[in-house]
Chains A and B, each alone.
Chain A
């Protein structure tokens, strides 16, 4: 008892069963505030079938639906290339699916009436019955305040759209919008710091001071997880002989072959082959696996294409990778090359579709640019709290390289990288920060209530969520 009572004063939590929604390019995280992991993690990709084939359900959401090969199933993503939501209708639906599929839809009916407790004498307090329960149900978020996250560069139009959706379509009683950078910092227990968020579509660097984003310092670049995937594709294409990229769904059965030998798998046949977008999505899964198990960031101290680095890399033991169709090989120096582009634009693989990335988009340059926009007094403090988060930051040895790069740029300050060790904390840092924030008792006064929204309109989000 004592252990649960003691920290109450510091904890200052007061949960109001708020829902935290953290949409990202790859996945959407949703869950109840106060929990430590999002309950619902859904892909941001959604399936879209043409109306004539199945007039009833046009959209398909969720892991199971979008990975099932179907004819004329188009896979889309609602995010725009600039890191701002593009397709709002789809976004609303996907988000709603993320919330309702795991969090709110399975609301238990009143135990007095659902027949489960028939055996008991059932003299429980009738006072318990929620009267509102009866007329509720058409809006998914009727009794949960919603905390949403947004990227640091979100436009004010997009922000207003968010509150509109939450208030009008979902009927949330209260709403708040917070930047992912701030929340990721909160998740690491920091109110100030530089947050390096390496996601799927974008890498962003956000200076945060006392829980507020320094907008002028926010930097983003497209050199992130998808960029690495593209690098791998190019690696496969440019290698001699070309490495075939075969997604799982095409393979019926495979046989073991020697390293480098062509695969002898039997492939599935489809009457109507799935669309290209579907294939691409499935290829991404293979590439994700490749990134997780093979790719490594060259840890320095020198760049990969400078000095003896490549020789050293070649002499290190390689990592084997087997394609779904049985093709396999051991990758040595190549596994460093594909990730080098994140830090060194000149080392990136290029082809006609993928031009050389800009120098200022490399992570180290982003950090430099972000720090440059901060008041000189705060720079050393911020550099002492560099938080690394995002799914793609899990690339092996990325932290070592990042430390190396930052120390090269700022040799005279005490730079400290804070990267949570656990995968969950790294991937869902922004959500966890939101979970912390929304469960605080002191946060109650920050919510934008429905009444305020009705009074001031959507523009209140600019005024309140600073």
Chain B
């Protein structure tokens, strides 16, 4: 092969000349500049011009099917003998299976079998794939005693009942098939002969009298009757859960006559002749036609109405009602006003008489108002939009409510809540101290921290208990306050008695006040009340202070004594009001001390009761 070099050599051209180099260079340049997309015809590529197309074009490459992965020689298949686990007789059939490359997986059960007979006996696969299709229906079972006690029937003998149940089992409740194959022959061919011999057995054989032609309804009625009775025997009616009860209800409610009537009707419907069917068809089409006509008429009327109520075009707007000539416009005005009214926040002092205001009630109550008409029209037009009529809430007797586990709630919060959380929440009062007190009281009643089964009933009982505990705590607090005050007044009395002659009113006043004040404080500290109660105590102190001041101003022992009484009464009053405000109609404080004693007993009573309930 002569290369270009040789040729040049032969022709005597200079070696490595510039010209061929330039030519060589110039050729690949356009190729690199305009990169032709692959797989596009040259002519098509020419159409692109200089620039590449805005959208990348990929021609799908010709793809051949992936080469088969050859993983060695062809797989071997064998006719694998197998047994079906659904069969009890161990029938061995063969199906084609891939020949296992290694020894077949040895299951634990067949381990020993495999080992000693591997060479002589082929491996038999145990196939349970289709076990799931081997389904048997469940039919209630009964014993002889149960049959005699509950299930006897004048119409059905024991043997026939058993036969029926066998058929039901065989044909899996396909009643049509059961009825089709139902061919009960009383298993006593002798009775007729017996009758011929002597009539004494006639009565005995009566239940086994000739096999009757049973209808499907007869069979069903008998089965449902027995099923219901057995169900009731197994589970008492009261203990059934909702599902079971529904089933029981269904079983007991089967009425063969109703069913028979229904079937005759169905058959009659099917056996109508051509004319009747045609008549029905005709009537149906007629009905459809009428409906369509009515719709069209409605639409036309609506259109007419809309046209009548349309706003008059380009009418100068005048003030007053004349600006709203049609009822529709009036309705829009009403709506606007209503919206304004709603959107504006009402000033606190502003009474309803202050300005024009309309409530929704007023609007709806306006007789023949446009609003109503409009709504009615709208409803007529699109009946779908109308909310469905509410189904009345069925009232259940409390007993039934318990059985069906129905409970009513004022308001249900979304999400899941735990009964134990509810109980825990009840233990917590507003203040820590109160919580501790409640806890102490509950501990005294030996109610555990965590109640094992916080059902709703337990929750209710616990709530009642907590309420009572709260009341008792309140009562105790009041008593302590009273006692403290009594103490203070006692002390004051003794001091007054001792210092009655020592005059200096101001000093004593200050002392008094301090003396008066401190116990109140200490009492407060003792009782560890909630803040507002604290304030009450201070008020009390102030009261006492003022009273003392007044009493001092009078400077008369007797009068003071009276004053003391007065003050006592006043303090009591204040306490009462405070307590009342706190407890809302709990036991009156007039009988605080007595109340306290009583409260202990109440507490014990309540505790015993609640304990009992809780134990329940």
Query: Which A residues have a C-beta under 8 Å from some C-beta of B?
Result: 12, 14-17, 125, 128, 143, 145, 173-174, 209-210, 212, 214-217, 373-380, 408, 410-413, 441-442, 444-445, 447, 449-452, 466
Contact = CB atoms under 8 A, between A and B. Distances in A.
B90 interface: yes
B106 to A, nearest CB: 17
Nearest to A214: B180
B272 A411 contact: yes
A17 B270 contact: no
Contacts of B271: 410
A217 B177 CA distance: 11
A215 B87 contact: no
A346 to B, nearest CB: 21
B204 interface: no
B94 A16 contact: yes
Given A15-B95, A444-B86, A412 B270 contact: yes
B457 interface: no
B87 A377 contact: no
Given A14-B130, A214-B177, A445 B78 contact: no
Nearest to A408: B274
Given A128-B78, A451-B90, A376 B267 contact: yes
Centre residue among A411, A450, A451 by max chain B CB count within 10 A: A411
Contacts of A376: 263-264, 266-267, 270
Given A441-B129, A447-B91, A411 B176 contact: no
Nearest to A374: B176
Interface string B83-105: 01011011111111000000000
Interface in B254-301: 263-264, 266-267, 269-274, 276-278, 280
Given A375-B216, A411-B274, A411-B277, A173 B93 contact: yes
6 contacts: A212-B177, A215-B180, A441-B130, A445-B133, A445-B134, A447-B87
Contact of A445 (B86, B96, B272, B273): B86
B101 to A, nearest CB: 12
Contact of B181 (A378, A410, A413, A466): A466
Contacts of B266: 376-377
Contacts of A442: 130, 133
Interface stretch (B43-51, B167-175, B192-200, B391-399): B167-175
Given A212-B177, A445-B87, 8 more contacts: A14-B95, A15-B95, A215-B181, A375-B176, A375-B216, A376-B264, A412-B277, A449-B87
A131 B90 CA distance: 20
Given A14-B95, A377-B263, A466 B170 contact: yes
A451 B91 contact: yes
A12 B133 CA distance: 11
A374 B76 CA distance: 52
Centre residue among A174, A377, A452 by max chain B CB count within 10 A: A377
A143 B269 CA distance: 54
Contacts of A445: 84, 86-87, 130, 133-134
Given A174-B91, A449-B87, A466-B170, A12 B130 contact: yes
Main secondary structure of the interface of A (DSSP, over half): loop
Contacts of B176: 209, 214, 374-375, 377-378
Nearest to A383: B270
A217 B180 CA distance: 8
B179 interface: yes
Nearest to A174: B91
Contacts of A215: 180-181
A26 B174 CA distance: 35
Contact of B93 (A145, A378, A380): A145
Contacts of B89: 449, 451-452
A410 B270 contact: yes
A73 to B, nearest CB: 41
Interface string B591-606: 0000000000000000
A412 B78 CA distance: 56
A411 B174 contact: no
Contacts of B181: 215, 466
A413 B268 CA distance: 12
A181 B264 CA distance: 28
A316 B133 CA distance: 56
B128 to A, nearest CB: 11
A375 B86 contact: no
Interface string B124-158: 00010110011000000000000000000000000
A14 B84 CA distance: 11
A450 B264 CA distance: 47
A212 to B, nearest CB: 5
B95 A16 contact: yes
A413 B92 CA distance: 48
Contact of B130 (A209, A413, A444): A444
Given A174-B93, A444-B87, A209 B274 contact: no
Contact of A413 (B86, B96, B270): B270
B91 A210 contact: no
A413 B269 CA distance: 9
Nearest to B171: A212
B172 to A, nearest CB: 9
B613 to A, nearest CB: 54
Given A215-B181, A374-B176, A380 B216 contact: no
Centre residue among B86, B92, B130, B180 by max chain A CB count within 10 A: B180
B67 to A, nearest CB: 14
Interface string B175-190: 1110111000000000
A147 B132 CA distance: 23
Contact of B94 (A143, A210, A447): A143
3 cross-chain pairs, A with B, having the tightest CB-CB distances, nearest first: A449-B91, A445-B86, A442-B133
Nearest to A450: B91
A16 B93 CA distance: 6
Contacts of B216: 375
A145 B92 CA distance: 10
A214 B174 CA distance: 11
Nearest to B259: A377
Contacts of B127: 14, 441, 444
Interface in B61-93: 76, 78-79, 84, 86-87, 89-93
Contacts of B272: 411-412
B597 to A, nearest CB: 78
B133 A17 contact: no
A15 to B, nearest CB: 6
Contacts of B171: 212, 466
A376 B264 CA distance: 8
A373 B123 CA distance: 51
A14 B91 contact: no
Centre residue among A374, A378, A449, A466 by max chain B CB count within 10 A: A449
A380 B175 contact: no
Contacts of A145: 93
Contacts of B273: 411
A380 B177 contact: no
B174 A209 contact: yes
Given A442-B130, A445-B86, A212 B174 contact: yes
A151 B79 CA distance: 33
A310 B174 CA distance: 48
Nearest to B272: A412
Contacts of A441: 127, 129-130
Contacts of B86: 444-445
A410 to B, nearest CB: 7
Contacts of B84: 444-445
Nearest to B280: A412
A209 B78 contact: no
Centre residue among B93, B181, B271 by max chain A CB count within 10 A: B93
A380 B78 contact: no
B346 to A, nearest CB: 67
A254 B190 CA distance: 74
A375 B220 CA distance: 13
A108 to B, nearest CB: 13
Nearest to B277: A411
